[in-house]
């Protein structure tokens, strides 16, 4: 059974946490004691109804303010698919949390309040999800019960959002009118909106096609660990363990090792459950090669005629995530790209991007917390990279502060 990772985004009070609570509740994915705790808390707070948003807003500060701060991950499954939900915050000061939650998502749900329409934050979240190359976008127009389930209002918002989305790189865009509070069009089709002929939200999530989103063309295997058991039964065993980041690998395939440029063939592909005849993203496997090459963590195995770029200078869009420091030219950082770690110097800051207006501020001299800009980096040792648009795993990286060892930035190679 495949897994769909999806992120929810939207302005404050658009009902993201309530929607997730409704999905979990209506798909029978919560335990009785969880439901009882939510009902009790709802009563204690004087709420007229069971507040399903309490299922995801785990931090006390979130419950008290009625907002989402942290990225809350929830897991549930239906007979058709498993799901991992990242409930991301709506506030502009939590842009970094939104970037974190959406970076691994296959699909993003952007909630829009039917009364308020497309807000600045709706545009910002749509831009961020397309910047992070989330392949599928669902615009859930929520609180339809508060506009009397009016088709005209739904069409108005759809028209406005579609116009804005035409400036973005949104490949798959769907619109669903819902009421998270009452469950309209969330798990089952609503009788209150007979004019809407499309699927319910859960039906869409169960059937959206994600297998073709992964890059199965470019073979990329970053080596994470060299396995030498030193046991009699595995006398000369030498395996290279890691997660397939792209393409399909089979025993007998000719492969190239980077940085040496030497070629060999795959002898076998091992997993925890035994040998397999092929490996593809996102499988974690151990490769055994026919020749003994000097391979270590951070190296890359690819095809001889289809190699990543070997680069020590890269251009990237970076979201800055540090409170205390700013990103400025000449800043020294540690870069972690796939399994390789190196030191990096910020050569240049080309512009800071206003995520609300898409305006480029070329006079900017630094990036502060939650700001996004285009930078050039010089790296001490070569990285094996692809464009982020081609492969999110080999095109993304994180920046680490050398002094505190904290993650201070996330980048997408352009």
Q: Are residues 298 and 334 in the same domain?
A: no
Q: Are residues 20 and 161 in the same domain?
A: yes
Domain count, the chain: 3
- Which residue from 58, 82, 51 is spatially nearest to 72, judged by alpha carbons? 58
**Bridging pattern class, strands 82-87 and 3-10:** parallel
| Whether 222 contacts 243, CB under 8 Å | yes
From residue 323, alpha-carbon distances to 121, 336, 364, 373 in Å are: 22, 20, 18, 16
pLDDT value for 169: 83
Distance CA 270, CA 293 (A): 18
Which of 238, 268, 302 marks a domain boundary?
A: 302
Burial of 32 (0-12, 13-18, 19+ CB in 10 A): exposed
Q: Which two tokens stand for residue 346?
A: 């910020």
Q: Are residues 265 and 292 in the same domain?
A: yes
pLDDT value for 69: 42
- Which residue from 306, 401, 291, 381 is spatially nearest to 339, judged by alpha carbons? 381
Q: Are residues 229 and 255 in the same domain?
A: yes
Q: Are residues 243 and 386 in the same domain?
A: no
| Whether 389 contacts 375, CB under 8 Å | no
Whole-prediction pTM: 0.84
Distance CA 354, CA 120 (A): 12
- Cα dihedral 62, 65, 69, 72 in deg (nearest 10): 30
From residue 120, alpha-carbon distances to 117, 135, 355, 356 in Å are: 10, 22, 9, 6
Q: Are residues 296 and 154 in the same domain?
A: no
Q: Which two tokens stand for residue 106?
A: 């296959």
Q: Which two tokens stand for residue 371?
A: 């700001």
Which of 212, 230, 255 marks a domain boundary?
A: 212
Q: Are residues 295 and 339 in the same domain?
A: no
pLDDT value for 42: 73
Q: Are residues 298 and 314 in the same domain?
A: no
Q: Are residues 276 and 325 in the same domain?
A: no
Distance CA 193, CA 190 (A): 6
Name residue 385's beta-bridge partners: 309
| Whether 9 contacts 125, CB under 8 Å | yes
Q: Are residues 344 and 238 in the same domain?
A: no
Give the pLDDT of the chain (414 residues) as one tens digit per residue: 789 999 988 877 777 778 888 888 877 777 777 777 777 877 787 777 677 766 665 544 444 444 444 566 788 889 999 999 887 765 666 677 788 888 889 999 999 999 999 988 888 888 889 989 999 999 999 999 999 999 999 999 999 999 999 888 888 999 999 999 899 999 999 999 999 999 999 999 999 998 888 888 999 999 999 999 888 777 788 999 999 999 999 999 999 999 999 999 999 999 999 999 999 988 999 999 999 899 999 999 999 999 999 999 999 999 999 888 999 999 999 999 999 999 999 999 999 998 877 899 999 999 998 899 999 999 999 999 999 999 999 999 999 999 999 999 999 999
pLDDT value for 90: 59
pLDDT value for 64: 46
The domain that contains 228 carries what CATH number? 2.40.30.10
Domain ranges, residue 144? 3-212
pLDDT value for 62: 40
Q: Are residues 80 and 205 in the same domain?
A: yes
How many CA atoms within 13 Å lie on the side-chain side of 340? 29
Q: Are residues 107 and 125 in the same domain?
A: yes
Which of 212, 235, 265 marks a domain boundary?
A: 212
Burial of 104 (0-12, 13-18, 19+ CB in 10 A): middle
| Contact partners, residue 150, CB within 8 Å, separation at least 6 | 144
Q: Which two tokens stand for residue 369?
A: 């917390």
| Contact partners, residue 292, CB within 8 Å, separation at least 6 | 238
For 144-199, the three-class secondary structure string (H helix, E strand, C coil) is HHHHCCCHHHHHHHHHHHHHHHCCCCCCEEEEEECECCCCECCCECCCCCCCCCCC
The domain that contains 84 carries what CATH number? 3.40.50.300
| Whether 106 contacts 29, CB under 8 Å | no
């Amino acid at each position: 059974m495949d897994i769909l990772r999806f992120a929810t985004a939207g302005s404050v009070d658009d009902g993201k946490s309530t929607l997730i609570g409704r999905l979990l509740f209506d798909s029978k994915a919560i335990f009785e004691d969880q439901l009882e705790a939510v009902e009790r808390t709802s009563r204690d707070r004087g709420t007229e109804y069971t507040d399903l948003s309490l299922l995801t807003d785990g931090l006390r500060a979130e419950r008290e303010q009625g907002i989402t701060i942290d990225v809350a991950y929830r897991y549930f499954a239906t007979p058709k698919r498993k799901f991992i939900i990242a409930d991301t915050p709506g506030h502009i000061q939590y842009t970094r949390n939104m970037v974190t939650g959406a970076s691994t998502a296959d699909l993003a749900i952007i909630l829009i309040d039917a009364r308020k329409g497309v807000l600045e934050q709706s545009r910002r979240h749509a831009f961020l999800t397309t910047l992070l190359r989330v392949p599928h976008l669902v615009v859930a127009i929520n609180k339809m019960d508060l506009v009397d389930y009016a088709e005209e209002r739904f069409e108005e918002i759809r028209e406005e959002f579609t116009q804005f989305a035409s400036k973005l790189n949104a490949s798959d865009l769907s619109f669903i009118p819902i009421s998270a509070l009452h469950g309209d069009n969330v798990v089952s089709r609503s009788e209150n909106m007979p004019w809407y002929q499309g699927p319910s939200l859960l039906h869409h999530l169960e059937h959206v096609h994600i297998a073709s989103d992964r890059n199965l063309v470019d073979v990329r295997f970053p080596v994470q660990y060299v396995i030498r058991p030193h046991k009699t039964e595995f006398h000369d065993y030498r395996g290279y363990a890691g997660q397939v980041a792209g393409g399909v690998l089979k025993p007998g395939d000719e492969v190239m090792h980077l940085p040496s440029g030497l070629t060999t063939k795959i002898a076998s592909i091992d997993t925890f459950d035994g040998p397999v005849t092929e490996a593809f993203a996102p499988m974690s496997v151990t490769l055994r090669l026919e020749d003994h090459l000097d391979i270590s963590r951070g190296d890359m195995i690819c095809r001889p005629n289809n190699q990543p770029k070997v680069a020590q200078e890269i251009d990237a869009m970076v979201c800055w995530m540090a409170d205390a420091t700013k990103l400025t030219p000449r800043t020294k950082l540690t870069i972690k790209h796939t399994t390789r770690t190196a030191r990096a110097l910020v050569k240049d800051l080309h512009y800071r991007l206003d995520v609300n207006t898409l305006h480029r501020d070329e006079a900017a001299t630094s990036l502060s917390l939650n700001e996004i800009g285009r930078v050039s980096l010089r790296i001490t040792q070569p990285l094996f990279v692809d464009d982020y648009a081609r492969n999110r795993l080999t095109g993304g990286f994180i920046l680490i502060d050398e002094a505190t060892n904290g993650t201070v930035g996330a980048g997408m190679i352009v």
